[in-house]
Amino acid sequence: MNPGTNSTTDEEPDAYRLPTSVRPHAYRLVLTPDLAAATFSGDVEIDVTIEERTSAITLNAAELEIAFVELNDSDPDRGYALSPTAINLDADEERATVTFAQPLEPGAATLHLVFTGILNDKLHGFYRSTFTDDAGVEQTVATTQMESTDARRAFPCWDEPELKATFEVTLVIDDALAAYSNGSVTEESPEPGGKHRVRFAPTMKMSTYLVAFIVGPLEATNPLEVDGVPLRIVHRPGQGHLTSFALTVGAHALRFFSAYFGIPYPADKLDLVAIPDFAFGAMENLGCVTFRESLLLVDPAQAARVELERIADVVCHEIAHMWFGDLVTMKWWNGIWLNEAFATFMEVLAVDAFRPEWQRWVSFGVEREAAMAVDGLHTTRPVEFHVGRPEEAQGMFDVLTYQKGGSVLRMLEQFVGPDVFREGINDYLVTHSHGNTETSDLWDALERSSGRAVRTIMDTWINQGGYPLVRLAEDGSLAQVPFSYSGSPGGAIGSGWLVPLLTRTLDAEDTYSSPILLGTKRTASVALDDGSPGQLINAGGSGYYRVSYPPAMVERLATGFVDLAPLERYNLISDTWAASLAGQAPLADLLRLARALVESGEGDPSVWSVLLGALGLFDRIVPGPDRPVTAGAVRTLLGPLARDLGWDPRDDDGERTAALRASVLRTLGTIGDDPEIQSEAARRFAHAGTAVLHPDTESAILEVVASQGGADEYEAILTRYRAPTNPQEENRYLYALASFVDPQLADRTFELAMTEVRTQNAPFLLQSLLANRVTGPTIWRRVTDDWDTLVTKFPSNILPRMLDGVRGLCNPPELADEVTEFVVGHPLPTGGRTVEQILERLAVNVAFGEREGATLAATLAGAMERSPG
Ligand SMILES: [Zn+2]
């Protein structure tokens, strides 16, 4: 299996689909979990239609033992009850086939199965999660994660998104426990043996991957009524004080989406459930959304702004799915990208409406850049690709689906206009409610609302990898070429796009010109004669492409930097940096813009983040003896800004100043090697003791302290990690452990990742350890030594994230060769394209180092001399 590849296959497109002779309509499922034994028993009645004469029924089942099967006539007068002659379980195909002595005639019937299964530790299907309560006792929660194809581990079912049905869940649980599922509780009744039975209302018709049930010693907040929808947060005991922010965001999202989509919320209640062990960020189970704790539970007074934004994002993302995904669902897994891209787009739109002052579309530029950084590689992939075996869809859960997909939808929305876009979305959701769709159904709806050739435009963005570089020539003509970090197109990078271009004049009026659709055959042009004030391409900044300007225009933009919108400034600097990294523009262009940032008093953290990221790579490729020169350049660039910002929040801080303050202090204290910053960070850390550092700067202070610290600081940070007051603090202290440069301390952190740290976090901790410039190479050896253990221990779907840390191991180049050889020789079962992309990014960094490393110190020193800072 090679997930994420776009290879066409000789097999029929439905080779992996269940036979269609029998279709399910309604499941009545009773489950009795035994948390102590980590097992469960189940009983399910499935109303089906036999569509054509058949003597066998095939459905999905994995890691289940089926003890009893009977097929009952749905007509009690005719009333047959057939027992099968054979029940065959195919472990590889994860299917159960029930065979009967004589053929079954078409018509309605009910399939009854009795089965048992295990509560696994792999964070998929019906699984076990644990936590230690206030009395120090380990408590167990049984919970579910069905997407993509793990409902079959919890109960036998037709586990394909198109086979929608209703689900009526009943859970038989210990009296001390609570139970949650998709519907509201309709009935509770006692059972023998200290148990009781909890019955939930049937769901609407939906896909199996959206079923959820959770049993454990959990609590729920009182319901908050949001226009008739009861909204609750479910959490472990003692965390009720961390629920108010998610309730506020959840209520906003319910109202925002009901209004935007023009369709009422499709379930009868909404629970947002915090799960101690959770592989992904969150999961959009209808009416019962599950989250990792750090993305739901928060004390706003103890949280950094960026942490609050992340929670608002995830809550809005999941609630958007209740309509887009749950009410209207993709036919097959190739459509997963649209599901996720759309939820990503809607999450930003909803958060932007929640707190306009956060300027969420500006910070989305940083996320879009994460996609463009991958999408400019030969090893990129088209957003949509053929999925045969459902596991291949695992390769879709990446930046190209979420961030590129979300970005191209934003580009389209800005091109056709927000109202027209929304009309098309409404048309699509109303037309296909409770049904399943292909991607083209959305384009058709948007064509109806906009009158534009949406399908033709979007096919160029969705069916091929990569994106264009739009070149503005001195005569005002515009043309596109594919952008590539290796300097030449190839691999999966496409060859031409229909580019929706927005442009505006750079004068006092800032007039937007009519939108241009730039194709490959003809060039377009803008007015750019001698007397022209100049033209900004990608006006507003929402286009998913890069722009290059003639030198005179670059100078014009650099001097008028402050007149551009933040996202436009962001694009200018990120496009320039990408061109340098790709070897298509001199580093001097980037450094010219760095001076413009300083001179204009740039205050936007996203705009600065491009430069700070570039400085991080400089720090890796510079030869050791030149390091003081680079560090000095960093201090020259950032010193005045740091003095200006200070360490503590101030009354005149803008909404995003805190984030900028944290990044500037972090960069100066680490790669800037600034002794003043380092000693002040140490002073604040020592002084804080058990008190709380300011949440916005805490991570930065910890990172600076750790990068200079020894065993005492390590113990102090580890102790706080082990006894956090909230999930965000736990994360800040955990990841700070990866910043120590002492090899023995790095080793200790590696051991922690292998033992104590939850498997939902350990791969990310290893990623941070590998990304540490000093200890990364040593940790890499440990990773290779313990490879087999790592691969079996951690959830397979987040393992490739661990390897993301190796793309900084570019110096010396021999180390990069060693890394590449090992990774190629040890393919991860779910790695596929993602791992190839990490290796290509490593190669791009190596090439940049070989090109610029030796002269970098001189280049930087020269640029700084011209700086007034
Ligand atoms: Zn999603």
DSSP notation for 365-397? HHHHHHHHHHHTSTT---SS---SSGGGGGGGS
pTM above 0.85, yes or no: yes
Distance 148 CA to ligand 1 centre (A): 12
Distance 846 CA to ligand 1 centre (A): 34
Distance 147 CA to ligand 1 centre (A): 10
pLDDT confidence of residue 511: 76
pLDDT confidence of residue 80: 82
Distance 340 CA to ligand 1 centre (A): 5
For this structure, is 219 an active site residue? no
Segments of the chain scoring below 50 in pLDDT:
1-11, 868-869
Nearest to 432 by CA among 523, 530, 527, 324: 324
Calculate the CA 127 to chain-centre distance. 22
Helix (H, G, I), strand (E, B) or coil at 76: coil
Residue 40 is inside which H or E element, if any? strand 39-50
Distance 693 CA to ligand 1 centre (A): 33
Asked if residues 671 and 616 have their Cβ atoms less than 8 Å apart, the reply is: yes
List the catalytic residue out of 309, 318, 367, 703: 318
pLDDT confidence of residue 10: 42
Distance 811 CA to ligand 1 centre (A): 37
**275 φ, ψ to 5°?**
-115, 130
What tens digit of pLDDT does each residue of 728-777 get? 999 999 999 999 999 999 999 999 999 999 999 999 999 999 999 999 99
pLDDT confidence of residue 41: 98
Distance 420 CA to ligand 1 centre (A): 24
Distance 327 CA to ligand 1 centre (A): 14
Joined together, the tokens standing for residue 302 give 């103890």
686-692: long-range pairs with CB below 8 Å, 24+? 690/720, 692/302, 692/725, 692/729
Residue 514 CB contacts under 8 Å (≥ 6 apart), including other chains: none
pLDDT confidence of residue 866: 65
Asked if residues 599 and 589 have their Cβ atoms less than 8 Å apart, the reply is: no
Distance 318 CA to ligand 1 centre (A): 6
Distances (CA, A) of 270 to 220, 323, 452, 512, 651: 11, 13, 37, 43, 38
Pairing of strands 224-226, 229-235: antiparallel
pLDDT confidence of residue 690: 53
Residue 80 CB contacts under 8 Å (≥ 6 apart), including other chains: 71, 72, 73
Distance 843 CA to ligand 1 centre (A): 31
List helix spans (H) across 497-565.
551-559
Distances (CA, A) of 118 to 128, 142, 143, 764: 9, 10, 12, 27
What tens digit of pLDDT does each residue of 197-220 get? 999 999 999 999 999 999 999 999
Helix (H, G, I), strand (E, B) or coil at 151: helix
pLDDT confidence of residue 798: 84
pLDDT confidence of residue 692: 60
DSSP state of 120: B
Gap between the Cα atoms of 348 and 360, Å rounded = 6
Distance 314 CA to ligand 1 centre (A): 8
List helix spans (H) across 723-775.
727-736, 743-754, 762-771
Gap between the Cα atoms of 196 and 177, Å rounded = 9
Distance 764 CA to ligand 1 centre (A): 20
Strands (DSSP E) found in 490-625: 499-501, 503-505, 516-518, 524-525, 535-537, 546-548
Angle at 330 between CA 326 and CA 336, to 5 degrees: 95
Gap between the Cα atoms of 319 and 296, Å rounded = 13
Which amino acid type is present at position 119? L
DSSP one-letter string for 314-365? HHHHHHHHTTBTTTBEESSGGGHHHHHHHHHHHHHHHHHHH-GGG-HHHHHH
Asked if residues 573 and 547 have their Cβ atoms less than 8 Å apart, the reply is: no
pLDDT confidence of residue 8: 39
What tens digit of pLDDT does each residue of 536-558 get? 999 999 999 999 999 888 888 99
Nearest to 402 by CA among 374, 441, 377, 423: 374
Residue 488 CB contacts under 8 Å (≥ 6 apart), including other chains: none
Which amino acid type is present at position 581? L
Distances (CA, A) of 648 to 645, 678, 698: 8, 16, 11
Which amino acid type is present at position 155? F
* Bond prior to 148 in cis (omega within 30° of 0): yes
* Bond prior to 812 in cis (omega within 30° of 0): yes
Distance 342 CA to ligand 1 centre (A): 8
